[in-house]
Amino acid sequence: MGFNAGRVDGIFGERTESAVKEFQKSVGIKVDGKCGPATIIALIRLTKIVSGGAPAQMRESAKQRNRGPALANKVIVLDPAFGNDEAEIVYDIAQRLEGRLLALGASVFLTRGPKNVLTENEIITFSNKNSSDLVISLHTDKHSNPDAHGVSTYFYGNLGSTSPNSSPRGTCRSWLSNKSWRCRSPCPS
């Protein structure tokens, strides 16, 4: 619709409120910056006549096309989890990964040091302020079965999509990596 609320992050912040006010003004309803019944009805009416794709997604894909497919010049945020059993090991992995990504020309930010911890909202805000292309959150897990071990990979995106925002090769690699590690992990039948 053309009202720039910034990156889609699930937070109703200042930019979202500003976009809501701009929308309310343009459709002639009370301008209060809240998504009340009148605003929702106006949005529903508008969705019946507007087509062509989501503006936020179109802005993101244009940014991504300008930066190119390589890791050089990408902004990557590493989020090493901070739990009782995982804090030390995931922080070590994050530092090693940071070094390798820096060597490939990426700009890398860690969301925490050895002791400080950010909330989920602070991580989202931090990532958005730094215009991150990718956020990698590192965690460990455990299971009481001694034969259960391996790796899980999860990603947010459009699986199988042909849009410029998704990479079929990356999706395939993620899927194959996950399947490969699971196949190597012996588990009792």
Structure confidence by residue, pLDDT tens digits, 111-167 = 988 778 888 888 888 888 888 888 888 888 777 888 877 777 776 655 444 444 444
Whole-number pLDDT of residue 112: 87
pLDDT per residue as tens digits for the range 54-76: 666 666 666 666 666 678 888 99
Closest CA to 153 of 180, 135, 177, 169: 177
Query: Are the beta carbons of 76 and 101 closer than 8 angstroms?
Result: yes
| Cα 5 from Cα 13, distance rounded (Å) | 9
Residue 17 pLDDT greater than 80, yes or no = yes
Which two tokens mark 51?
């087509």
The residue to which tokens 């040091």 are assigned: 113
Q: With cut-offs at 50, 70 and 90, classify the pLDDT of residue 42.
A: confident
Query: Vertex 165, ends 139 and 45: CA angle to 5°?
Result: 110
Q: Which of helix, strand or coil describes residue 31? A: coil
Residue 120 vs residues 76, 91, 127: alpha-carbon distances, Å:
16, 17, 11
Beta strands, E only, the chain: 75-80, 107-110, 134-138
Q: With cut-offs at 50, 70 and 90, classify the pLDDT of residue 31.
A: very high
Query: Are the beta carbons of 43 and 24 closer than 8 angstroms?
Result: no
Residue 51 pLDDT greater than 90, yes or no = no
Closest CA to 140 of 84, 179, 100, 187: 84
| Cα 6 from Cα 21, distance rounded (Å) | 14
Neighbouring residues of 8: CB distance < 8 A, sequence distance ≥ 6: 56
pTM of the prediction? 0.52
| Cα 81 from Cα 87, distance rounded (Å) | 6
